[in-house]
């Protein structure tokens, strides 16, 4: 069972079964490429190669490298210069959808937003309070 889809790599139709995102032919090519990249990276002196260098040396596309890192086929723990672009700023990251800087910024904004909400709630509470209780206290 599956559905007919366009292969994003070559544009041809293939039967999508939920496992492969590209057609059989491209899957095979990707696997060959992976082997080549892996062979390249396995050499001690290439462990710390940057994505640019790997692309240059093996002919793989950046997109494929990003995909493999994202899926954990190439582990940034072993190859420190590998990563994939942050959804927000495009800087390389190795976990989640955002790089550390953007994740921290998002956290910050979230906190500010929550703080603003709390402040607004507190203000509303105190306004209500002021109306019912506060006024009396002030006049006392
Ligand atoms: Zn294809
Ligand atoms: Zn970012």
In terms of pTM, does the model score above 0.85? no
pLDDT at 133 over 60: no
Q: Of 4, 22, 18, which Cα lies nearest the Cα of 67?
A: 22
Q: Domain residues of the chain, as ranges?
A: 1-85, 86-140
Q: Which ligand is nearest to the CA of 91?
A: 2
Chain mean pLDDT for the chain:
90
pLDDT tens for 22-44 read 999 999 999 999 999 999 999 99
Question: Which residues lie at CB < 5 A from ion ligand 1?
Answer: 7, 9-10, 22-23, 26
Tell how far the Cα of 19 is from the centroid of ligand 1, in angstroms: 14
Percentage, residues of the chain above pLDDT 90: 78
């Amino acid at each position: 069972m599956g559905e007919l889809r366009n292969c994003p790599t070559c544009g041809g139709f293939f039967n999508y079964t939920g496992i492969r995102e590209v057609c059989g032919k491209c899957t095979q090519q990707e696997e060959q490429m992976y082997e080549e990249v892996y062979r390249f990276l396995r050499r001690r002196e290439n462990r710390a190669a940057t994505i640019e260098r790997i692309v240059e040396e093996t002919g793989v596309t950046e997109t494929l490298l990003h995909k493999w890192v994202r899926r954990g086929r190439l582990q940034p723990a072993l190859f420190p210069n590998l990563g994939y672009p942050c959804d927000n700023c495009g800087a390389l990251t190795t976990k989640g959808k955002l790089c550390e800087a953007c994740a921290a910024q998002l956290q910050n904004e979230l906190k500010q937003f929550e703080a603003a909400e709390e402040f607004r709630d507190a203000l509303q509470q105190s306004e209500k309070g002021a109306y019912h209780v506060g006024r009396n206290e002030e006049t006392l």
